[in-house]
Structure 1
């Protein structure tokens, strides 16, 4: 693609310079694309009513056209223009979790281009909680289509440096608002069917959702291999979040995982492979050697979610051949962490 001039501007997370916000909103109004932080990861935004602008997102990311985009809104009233109906179930979940890291799947209205829905009859919508994202949507005066601001397939960006590495020269503007908070993308919940169904786990957990609904299900794509599915949500069909190196995830009882990793490490080192080990605070002393990165604490899994993509990119910088990663239990946000790890390693999981 032809390289374009990219503006990079740094702003305060909670008190962004209004001139920078105006500039970003103006670029979006005129059909450009802007990368900005949200509470989950950095997003790459464009006017959702402009098909040419939507095309620029796919081109900049190298993203397959059948991979749906998420629409970001600033208020609930905008949702009514974008969907066929907002029922009691939808109102209940929006009141409980918006603004926040939850994307909802609705039946789309005719106003929504099929270009951003991957040709589907449904649309994914969320209202971000992040001040910068919210202000850009507000002053753009249009719902913003925004996937994660990374090259397709790479780990999602949790700071502006990640975005600059991937997209500088490909987008009109990058807003540096510091590190994101949650670190993994929003939960995607399909409320267009009778039973609310999680299509992608994220910051709003199953345990959160079951408090307001009598029944919540996981989509089969989360449970089973998903090579042949039609993606109803971003992150379902394609290999995502992948580091350059081969990655293997070890899951099971944490008392057994370090010994399994060390056994595999010895074999790989004998073959001349440069290893990286993704450890946790509780297990880091189990390992010796170089390229051991601590992703967070098992006692506070939100720290693992926050650091996961950053650590995967650090392994890229270390030029390791193989990453051996500890899995986590799938309670709370652990489901989202393991979902991203599974995608990052292409399903290469060893159960111990």
Structure 2
């Protein structure tokens, strides 16, 4: 496999041409690394099963076991992928865009991965102009998982040049938007009264 593209995109004013370049890679079944409002993520088009399998392979997990999140550009289409109660929606509306992953009951529209139906899906709307522009241009959510191991924070999860060195033979593109953070999103279980499953960058208490 040839080296991945290294695409420099302005974090505040993403250049349309470069957003289209990255989305073209996603549409062709590519895997990309992109910035979020927390750490850099790795992902692909949610509807491309082979690309999803590649993401799982890179992470070293089985597609039917992995906890995957969908990055949406806003809350408009969330009901397409998840069953959501009004009380939960109100909290999400206040907290997003922001550094949270909300775990919701998956709807029938969530694609099957490795032949298995997901019972839950994590929903993310990051406060990051680049990834939101990617999702809007693509027209559906991007599948997302963090590039770092949950147990260790290492420098490669924040520096795009080091990320590129590590992943250039594994993915199709790395977006360089400057240094990322090294704290992941806060994962919140909406079925259990907003129980925090993983402490992260966001404090859900202020939105309850």
* Per-residue Cα deviation, 1:95-124 (whole angstroms, up to 9, x for no partner): 2110010111111011112428x8541111
Instruction: State the Cα distance separating 1:63 from its structure 2 match.
Output: 3.2
| 2:160 corresponding residue in structure 1 | 160
Please report how far the alpha carbon of residue 148 of structure 1 lies from its aligned counterpart in structure 2 after TM superposition: 1.5
Secondary structure of the corresponding residue to residue 81 of structure 1: helix
- The 8 Å contact of residues 75 and 93 in structure 2, kept in 1 or not, is answered as no
Measure how far apart 1:89 and its partner are.
2.3
Greater relative contact order (Cα < 8 A, sep 6+): 2
- Paired residue secondary structure (2:187): strand
2:86 to 74, 85, 88: 88
1:27-55 Cα shifts (integer Å, max 9, x gaps): 11121111111110111120112211101
Match of 2:12 in 1: 14
Equivalent residue, structure 2, for 1:146: 144
> Structure 1 regions of 5+ residues with no counterpart?
214-352
Match of 1:304?
none
Please, which of 113, 128, 132 is the counterpart of residue 134 of structure 1? Answer: 132
How far apart are the structure 2 equivalents of 1:171 and 1:138?
22
| Residues 324-335 of structure 1 mapped to structure 2, 5 A cutoff | none
1:191 aligns with 2:186: no
- Mapped to 2, the partners of 1:102 and 1:192 lie a distance apart of 15
Contact 2:102/2:188 (<8 A) preserved: yes
Structure 1 or 2, whichever has the larger Rg, is 1
Q: TM-score, normalised by structure 1?
A: 0.54
- SS at structure 2 position matched to 1:161: helix
CA-atom RMSD, angstroms?
Answer: 2.1
Which residue of structure 2 lines up, in the alignment, with residue 98 of structure 1?
96
Residues 162 and 91 of structure 1: is their aligned pair in 2 closer, same or farther, counting only changes over 3 Å? same
